[in-house]
Every structure is written in structure tokens, then in C-alpha cells.
């Protein structure tokens, strides 16, 4: 066993005492940091917010801002109060009484800050517009002065109270809005996190016990991982005061923190155990561990952090928020593994093996032993291995050509939640498109009454004729009944004031109080994220571009438009982010190993494994293969941030395994073995470690794939599949086979003159 520290070094008592004192101080300092992190992490639910798909400057963003003032039932926050009476129907006196009591109670709730409202209870003149086909379901539009962040925190609490009060009256009551939707997601994120931890932690403990054969080592890994996650969440709470953080960040940070930090601690603690087993003192073992395992972990963590930082090139809050969270938890994992973990190992010394679990006697590393059977097959038949491996991954990647991404809609919410059920009732009794209509806003600086009525009517008729449009909701029919010759003249404020109050309020839902903005709502026969609705949106945009309205301008927006804008933003920025990521990783690998071919092989293999992962995700989440069996929700599309995050994370994590494998192979080659012998022995030594680390990752990510939050399901599943493919097919088979095929050329470097061939390795890579 090659080591840097001599066994015969005398035990310097003063030096050891100094190490112990410094370690105690280090642990104490981290204890204070953890306490501070815990106080911040306690506020984590109020830090992570909704949305993150808005593109400032996009028409959908501009339209949403326009609707925040001047309209009835629309404000900074716009809510829809949905009430279903299971005892009575419209026309019954009790039905109207119960509706009035319910609406009045909710409108008068001061917490909701209702500024205006219009709906079924405003009079017979408008009731038909707010009554569902079942004659039991009514809608009331509420404008609220709540900010989005306030609403997303408050609405789940209010909904919980409604759920406790109204079902006993045989009424179903739900407050619906984008903020209510994201409030549900925030709560589901916390609940899903607890569920994932319940699944993952027992499995993690079992795997660590099998790898360490020690209770103490297992506890140490769990402690440092917990510290990394808690402190990271505390830091993100502070950052969240200045930078908007997506609600999905909580799960992503915890998931990556568990996977990455446990892996890093595994590399370090295993090496420390091996050095102790080799007869070295704890101080000597730690010195060697710092030079090898800790050094490798730092290189690995910095690679992930740099790669994830490339995602800041995507100007989308959801992407940048997730990237920031991942970078933060990876950097914190590095800090605890570089500073806290060595201090704990110093204090424990040989007690790191306390609670020894009986099992196969562990051998010290023997580089002169025979390579494993798999290593011999891979190095003796590289062409066959490459053809079979690449063919398999290529076949799995074929469905990736059909990858469809979009922003989430209400279908990702648990079907048992009141908000989801409220949306379902709206879809059933009004139309699916009513849950998130396409919005068309006509603006006239000089007033809507100055616009040509025939041009506005023609625009509405052309939109109505689009295939997939079920209805265009607008006040035009009602205005035509009041003034058949010039319907738009009714929008003038002085004329509107002459109308009955109920009609004024109903008109104010679509026409602002200044009479210079008119809203049309286009209802489709499918959900807002569907391909059908996206096609309808494109057709609506084409119609508005081709239709002239003198003295007026037209904006098209809504949830579907917002999703398309964010998709376009990702599509524009992703190639540059991906290119920068590949270049950075390639350069790091090239200079680390003094090789030009190794980075090229790594990039090609990474792309293969990512492509295969995408293909499997399409099979499961788009085509529904096995989704029901696994308990997943197949919506026909992938959440648009998931492939981006997967690409960055899988590239980074795959590079980790590449570094661990290639470092050992290079060491064997530099020590005098032939290229194929070096590959076989390097693979034999590192395979158990890479397999163990990958198993931990798969356990963690797989556990998160069983949460009830669809985007996190997809991300966890994708990471678990990607890590499994990379650690088995790619690192254990394809990379060694490719290196065997190119032979000495793998180590060619300009001006190297072959000197590296005769260098003795100065450091050893982490070994199993």
C-alpha cells in the first residue's frame, strides 16, 4: 500500500495535543454556525416563493402588469372564489341565500384585503355569466391588495379554514389563483421533503453501514451532511431577502445536499479508515487523507459549482434560483468536509470504527493483485464493449427526440387538495380553458370609444373561428345590447356611470375604469400547458398581428403565453450555457490529467448518458410507460427547468466519477504498468468506491422521485437514472474500453515528451 506518511514517524505528543485543541475549537465554531443556520432555516417556508417563469419585457409580463390596476375583480392579486352547493341548485331561494352568505363572509375577511369583486351574487343581470352548467357552481372574481408573496403564504391558511367550515354545510369552497396554486406547491414541497427524508434516511443508513461497517463512521457522515444542509438553508433565507427564491429550491437543495455531502464524506472517511487499517496513527492517516481524498473532493465540488454557475446565463428566476441553491449547498458541503469533518476525525481517531459490524474482513489496498473479471473483459474486448454500450445508450436516447417541455399547470397539484378540486370543478362546469384563459388586451390611449367597432368585432370573430377555441369571453355582446350602433361608446366613464351597479361591475371586469383598456379571454378545450393550447395561442398571436385596429394596440398573454416565453428564454440561453459548461469541464480535465483525449472522451460519454436519461424520462413522464406502476404522474411533458438542471448536474457529477477513475488509472500507468494493465487495475480498485457512492446518490434521488410534487419527481427520477447509467455503463464499461482502445495516446500532451510515463505518483486517489 503506497502512502505518503512513514509508519516510523515518531508520535509527537505536543503536535497531537495541538491538533486536538484546534479540532475542538473548529467543532465549537461549527456548532455556533449551525445554531445560527437553524434560526434562519426556521423561516425557510416564508422565503421560497411562487412562480419564477416571468420574462420582464415579454408581452405576457406586460399584460399581467396592466391588469393589476383599474379593473374590477383584478388587482395586485386576482382571486377566483369557487362555490359549489351540493344540496340546492340555482333558482332555489336557499341556493341564493347560501351563496350570498358564503361570498359575503369571504369578501369581508380583512386578511384577504379584497379591493373589488364581481360575481354570481351581484344580481340577476350578471348571474348567467358566473354560473356553471351544473347550476350548482358559481364564481366570484376578487381583486386583492395582497402581494404575490403575501397571498401564497396566506391562502393555504385561509383555504384550510374554509375546508373545516363549509363541507359540514355540504358546500365546496375554494380560492383559486396563481398564488393559491403556488401556496399549495410550497406546502407540498415541505410535506414532500418530509416524505422523501422518511424514505431516504433509513436506506442511506443501511448503505453507509454496509460501506463503512461502522456505526461511528455512519453517524459522522450523517452529522456533516445535516450541518451542510441546515447552514445552507439558513444562508438562503438571508439571500432570499434580496433575491427571489423559487419554492422548488427547498427540495433541490435538500436532495443535492444529501447526495453530494454524503458522497464526499464517504470518500474522506473511507480513506481515513484505510490508512488506520494500514497501521498509521490518526494524525498520519488524516495527513494522507487530506492530500488525497480531501483534495479530490475539493476539485469535484469546485467543478460542480463552476458548472452550475453557467446556468446564471439563463435569465429566468426559476433556473437562477435553483442554480444558486445548488451552488450554495455544494460549497457548504465542501466547507464542512474540508474543515469540520477532519476535525471530527481527529477527535475520534480509531473510534471512527466504533460499533464495528461483522462482515467480510476488509483487505488493505493491494495494487499488485489481479484485476477483476469485468476489468479484464473490458480491456481485452474494448471494441465489443463500446459497440454494445454505445448502442444501448443510443437506443435509450431515441425517445429524447420527442422531449417536450413546458411550465407547470394546476395538474401537478395533488388531486386531493381543495385548490386542485376547485380547478377541476371549474373545468367540469365551465370549461377546461376557464382555468387559465388566453388573454388579449386591447389598449387605446384616447379611449376605447375612439376605436372602430367593426375592427374590434372582426378581431373577436377571427379568434372565435380558430380551431380549439370554445369561447371568447368579453363584454361586447352586453355593450351591443346597450348601444347596437356603437357598442364601444359604452366604455366611456361618464356613460358607464349611468348603468345599474351590477352592470357597471360586470363591465369593469373587462374594461378598466378609465375606459382605455379592453380585455378578451379566450377559452380553449384543453389545459394551458397542452400542445393544443400552445397551438391556439400561436394562432391568436398571428390573428392579432394581422388584424389592424386603428388607434389601438394589442397584447397577448396569460399562463400559456408566459410558459412559451420562458421556454424561448431557456432555448436561447441554454446552448451558450452548455458550451461554457463543456469548455470549463474540458479545460479542468485537460490540465488535471495533462491529456487532450480524456476530456473529449468524458464529454462524449457524458452526452450519451444524459441523452439516455432524457429518453427514459420521455418514456415514463410523457408516454406514461410504467408511470402508474411507479406512482408518477404522466402529464405529457417535462417541466421546462428539469432538463436544464439535469444537464448541468449530471455533467458535473459524472465528471466526479471520471476524476476518481482516471486519477487512479493515471497513477497506475505512471508507476510503470502498461496502458491496459493500468486501466484494469485502476478500474478494479475504484469500482467499489464509485459503485458505493453512486448507490447512495441513487437512493437519495430515487426517494425524492416518490414525493407528490411532479417537477421534483421528474428531477429525482432523472438524477437517479442518470447516475445509475453513468456509474455502471459509462464509468465501469465505456470509459475503460475507450481508454484501452486509444492506449498511450490517452496521455498525450503537447511538449510532454513522455516524461509523465516515468513519474512516480505523488498522491493516491480515493480508493475503495
Residue 390 is predicted with a pLDDT of: 96
State the angle between helix axes of 215-239 and 178-212 in degrees (0 to 180), rounded to the nearest 10.
160
* Cβ neighbour number for residue 467 with a 10 Å cutoff: 10
Residue 522 is predicted with a pLDDT of: 97
Instruction: Give the span between the Cα atoms of 689 and 440, in whole angstroms.
Output: 58
Residue 293 is predicted with a pLDDT of: 84
Domain 367-405+572-752+764-768 in CATH: superfamily? Multidrug efflux transporter AcrB transmembrane domain (1.20.1640.10)
Instruction: Give the span between the Cα atoms of 314 and 620, in whole angstroms.
Output: 27
The C-alpha R_g of the chain, in whole angstroms, comes to 31
Calculate ∠ Cα 59-65-67, nearest 5°: 105
CB 651 within 8 A of CB 585: yes
In the chain, ranges of CATH 3.30.70 domains = 59-183, 437-557
CB 559 within 8 A of CB 436: yes
What confidence tens digit (pLDDT) does each residue in 538-586 have?
999 999 999 989 999 999 999 999 999 988 888 888 888 889 888 988 8
**Computed from CA positions of residues 457, 463, 466, 469, in that sequence, does the dihedral angle turn out positive or negative?**
negative
CB 415 within 8 A of CB 423: no
Mean pLDDT, rounded, for 275-304: 87
Phi, psi of 289 (to 5 degrees): -60, -40
Instruction: Give the span between the Cα atoms of 259 and 528, in whole angstroms.
Output: 34
What confidence tens digit (pLDDT) does each residue in 110-169 have?
999 999 999 999 988 888 899 999 999 999 999 999 988 889 889 999 999 999 999 999
Instruction: Give the span between the Cα atoms of 5 and 391, in whole angstroms.
Output: 46
**Computed from CA positions of residues 445, 446, 448, 450, in that sequence, does the dihedral angle turn out positive or negative?**
negative
Instruction: Give the span between the Cα atoms of 186 and 759, in whole angstroms.
Output: 55
pTM: 0.85
Average pLDDT of the residues of the chain? 88
Pull the grid cell for residue 711: 417537477
Instruction: Tell me: pLDDT of 82 over 50.
Output: yes
Question: Quick one: DSSP state of residue 555?
Answer: E
Instruction: Tell me: pLDDT of 760 over 50.
Output: no
Instruction: Give the span between the Cα atoms of 459 and 466, in whole angstroms.
Output: 11
What confidence tens digit (pLDDT) does each residue in 10-32 have?
555 666 777 889 989 999 999 99
Pull the grid cell for residue 362: 476488509
Residue 766 is predicted with a pLDDT of: 39
Instruction: Give the span between the Cα atoms of 589 and 219, in whole angstroms.
Output: 33
Confidence of residue 409 (pLDDT cuts 50, 70, 90): confident
Residue 183 is predicted with a pLDDT of: 86
* Cβ neighbour number for residue 2 with a 10 Å cutoff: 13
Pull the grid cell for residue 516: 382605455
Q: Which CATH architecture has domain 59-183?
A: 2-Layer Sandwich (3.30)
Q: Provide the pairing of β-strand 245-246 with 48-49.
A: parallel
Residues of the chain with pLDDT > 70: what percent? 93
In CATH terms, the fold of domain 437-557 is Alpha-Beta Plaits (3.30.70)
Helices (H), ranges, 242-338:
248-277, 282-289, 295-309, 317-335
Residue 660 is predicted with a pLDDT of: 79
Q: Cα separations (Å) of 465 from 461, 537, 560?
A: 6, 13, 19
What confidence tens digit (pLDDT) does each residue in 98-110 have?
999 999 999 999 9
Instruction: Give the span between the Cα atoms of 137 and 83, in whole angstroms.
Output: 6
Residue 446 is predicted with a pLDDT of: 92
Least confident of 315-324, 523-532, 533-542: 315-324
Instruction: Give the span between the Cα atoms of 133 and 427, in whole angstroms.
Output: 11
Residue 686 is predicted with a pLDDT of: 84
Instruction: Give the span between the Cα atoms of 689 and 681, in whole angstroms.
Output: 14
Mean pLDDT, rounded, for 636-652: 89
Pull the grid cell for residue 77: 392579486
Tell the residue number behind the cell numbers 457548504, with chain if given.
Answer: 332
CB 483 within 8 A of CB 588: no
Tell the residue number behind the cell numbers 352548467, with chain if given.
Answer: 133
Residue 291 is predicted with a pLDDT of: 87
Mean pLDDT, rounded, for 337-354: 94
Q: Do you know the residue count of the chain? A: 768
Instruction: Give the span between the Cα atoms of 241 and 62, in whole angstroms.
Output: 25
Confidence of residue 653 (pLDDT cuts 50, 70, 90): confident
Tell the residue number behind the cell numbers 376547485, with chain if given.
Answer: 422
- In the chain, the largest separation of any two C-alpha atoms, in whole Å, equals 105
In the chain, ranges of CATH 1.20.1640.10 domains = 367-405+572-752+764-768
Instruction: Tell me: pLDDT of 755 over 60.
Output: no
Instruction: Tell me: pLDDT of 184 over 90.
Output: no
Q: Cα separations (Å) of 178 from 46, 49, 64, 147, 558?
A: 17, 12, 12, 12, 11
Confidence of residue 1 (pLDDT cuts 50, 70, 90): very low
Instruction: Give the span between the Cα atoms of 427 and 409, in whole angstroms.
Output: 13
Taking alpha carbons only, the member of 502, 501, 478, 430 closest to residue 127 is 502
Instruction: Give the span between the Cα atoms of 136 and 128, in whole angstroms.
Output: 12
Confidence of residue 49 (pLDDT cuts 50, 70, 90): low
- Which residues make Cβ contacts (< 8 Å) with residue 388, sequence separation at least 6? none
Phi, psi of 396 (to 5 degrees): -65, -30
Burial string for 385-402 (b: 16+ CB within 10 Å, else e) reads: bbeebbebbeebbebbee
Question: Quick one: DSSP state of residue 761?
Answer: P
DSSP SS3 for 603: helix
Amino acid at each position: 500500500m503506497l502512502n505518503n506518511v512513514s509508519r516510523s514517524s515518531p508520535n509527537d505528543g505536543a503536535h497531537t495535543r495541538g491538533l486536538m485543541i484546534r479540532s475542538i475549537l473548529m467543532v465549537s465554531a461549527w456548532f455556533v454556525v449551525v445554531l445560527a443556520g437553524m434560526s434562519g432555516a426556521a423561516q425557510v417556508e416564508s422565503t421560497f416563493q411562487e412562480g419564477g417563469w416571468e420574462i420582464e419585457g415579454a408581452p405576457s409580463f406586460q399584460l399581467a402588469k396592466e391588469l393589476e390596476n383599474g379593473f374590477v375583480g383584478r388587482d395586485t392579486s386576482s382571486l377566483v372564489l369557487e362555490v359549489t352547493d351540493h344540496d340546492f341548485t340555482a333558482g332555489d331561494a336557499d341556493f341564493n341565500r347560501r351563496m350570498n352568505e358564503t361570498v359575503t363572509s369571504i369578501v369581508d375577511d380583512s386578511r384577504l384585503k379584497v379591493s373589488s369583486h364581481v360575481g354570481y351574487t351581484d344580481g340577476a343581470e350578471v348571474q348567467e355569466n358566473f354560473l356553471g352548467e351544473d347550476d350548482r357552481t358559481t364564481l366570484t372574481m376578487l381583486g386583492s391588495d395582497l402581494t404575490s408573496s403575501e397571498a401564497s403564504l396566506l391562502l393555504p391558511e385561509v383555504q384550510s379554514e374554509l375546508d373545516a367550515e363549509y363541507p359540514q354545510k355540504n358546500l365546496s369552497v375554494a380560492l383559486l389563483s396563481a398564488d393559491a396554486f403556488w401556496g399549495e406547491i410550497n406546502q407540498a414541497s415541505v410535506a414532500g421533503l418530509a416524505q422523501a427524508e422518511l424514505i431516504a434516511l433509513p436506506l442511506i443508513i443501511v448503505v453507509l453501514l454496509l460501506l463503512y461497517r461502522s456505526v461511528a463512521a455512519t453517524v459522522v457522515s450523517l452529522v456533516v451532511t445535516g450541518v451542510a444542509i441546515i447552514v445552507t438553508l439558513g444562508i438562503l433565507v438571508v439571500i432570499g431577502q434580496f433575491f427571489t427564491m423559487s419554492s422548488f429550491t427547498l427540495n433541490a437543495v435538500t436532495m443535492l445536499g444529501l447526495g453530494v455531502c454524503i458522497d464526499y464524506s464517504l470518500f474522506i472517511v473511507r480513506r481515513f479508515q484505510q490508512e488506520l487499517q494500514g497501521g498509521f496513527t490518526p494524525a498520519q492517516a488524516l495527513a494522507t487523507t487530506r492530500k488525497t481524498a480531501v483534495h479530490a473532493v475539493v476539485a469535484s465540488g469546485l467543478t460542480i459549482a463552476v458548472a452550475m454557475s453557467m446556468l446564471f446565463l439563463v435569465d429566468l428566476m426559476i433556473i437562477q434560483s435553483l442554480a444558486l441553491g445548488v451552488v450554495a449547498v455544494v460549497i457548504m458541503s465542501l466547507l464542512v468536509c474540508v474543515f469540520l469533518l477532519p476535525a471530527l476525525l481527529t477527535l475520534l481517531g480509531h473510534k471512527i470504527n466504533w460499533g464495528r459490524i461483522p462482515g467480510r474482513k476488509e483487505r488493505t489496498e493491494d495494487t499488485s493483485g489481479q484485476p477483476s473479471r469485468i476489468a479484464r473483459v473490458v480491456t481485452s474486448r474494448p471494441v465489443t464493449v463500446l459497440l454494445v454500450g454505445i448502442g444501448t445508450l443510443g437506443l435509450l436516447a431515441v425517445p429524447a427526440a420527442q422531449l417536450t417541455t413546458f411550465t407547470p399547470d394546476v395538474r401537478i397539484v395533488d388531486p386531493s387538495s381543495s385548490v386542485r378540486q376547485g380547478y377541476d370543478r371549474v373545468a367540469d362546469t365551465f370549461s377546461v380553458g376557464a382555468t387559465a384563459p388566453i388573454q388579449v388586451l386591447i389598449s387605446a390611449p384616447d379611449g376605447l370609444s375612439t376605436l372602430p367597432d367593426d375592427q374590434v368585432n372582426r378581431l373577436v370573430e377571427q379568434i372565435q373561428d380558430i380551431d380549439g377555441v370554445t369561447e371568447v369571453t368579453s363584454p361586447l355582446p352586453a355593450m351591443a345590447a346597450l348601444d347596437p350602433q356603437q357598442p364601444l361608446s359604452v366604455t366611456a366613464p361618464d356613460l358607464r356611470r349611468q348603468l345599474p351597479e351590477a352592470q357597471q361591475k360586470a363591465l369593469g371586469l373587462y374594461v378598466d375604469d378609465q375606459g382605455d383598456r379592453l380585455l378578451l379571454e379566450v377559452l380553449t378545450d384543453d389545459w394551458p400547458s397542452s400542445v393544443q393550447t400552445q397551438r391556439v395561442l400561436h394562432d391568436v398571436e398571428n390573428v392579432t398581428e394581422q388584424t389592424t385596429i386603428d388607434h389601438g394596440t394589442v397584447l397577448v398573454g396569460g399562463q400559456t403565453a408566459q410558459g412559451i416565453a420562458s421556454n424561448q428564454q431557456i432555448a436561447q440561453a441554454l446552448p451558450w450555457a452548455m458550451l461554457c459548461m463543456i469548455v470549463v469541464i474540458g479545460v479542468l480535465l485537460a490540465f488535471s490529467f495533462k491529456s487532450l483525449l480524456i476530456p473529449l472522451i468524458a464529454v462524449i460519454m457524458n452526452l450519451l448518458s444524459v441523452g439516455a436519461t432524457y429518453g427514459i424520462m420521455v418514456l415514463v413522464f410523457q408516454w406514461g410507460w410504467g408511470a402508474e406502476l411507479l406512482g408518477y404522474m404522466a402529464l405529457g411533458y417535462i417541466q421546462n427547468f428539469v432538463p436544464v438542471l439535469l444537464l448541468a448536474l449530471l455533467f458535473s457529477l459524472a465528471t466526479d466519477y471520471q476524476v476518481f477513475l482516471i486519477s487512479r488509472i493515471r497513477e497506475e500507468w505512471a508507476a510503470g504498468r502498461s496502458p491496459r494493465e493500468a486501466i484494469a487495475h485502476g478500474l478494479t480498485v475504484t469500482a467499489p468506491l464509485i459503485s458505493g457512492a453512486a448507490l447512495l446518490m441513487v437512493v437519495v434521488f430515487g426517494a425524492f422521485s416518490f414525493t407528490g410534487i411532479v417537477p421534483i419527481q421528474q428531477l429525482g427520477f432523472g438524477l437517479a437514472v442518470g447516475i445509475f447509467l453513468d456509474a455502471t455503463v459509462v464509468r465501469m464499461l465505456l470509459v475503460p474500453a475507450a481508454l484501452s482502445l486509444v492506449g498511450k495516446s490517452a496521455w498525450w500532451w503537447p511538449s510532454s515528451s513522455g516524461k509523465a510515463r516515468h513519474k512516480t505518483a505523488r498522491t493516491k486517489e480515493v480508493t475503495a
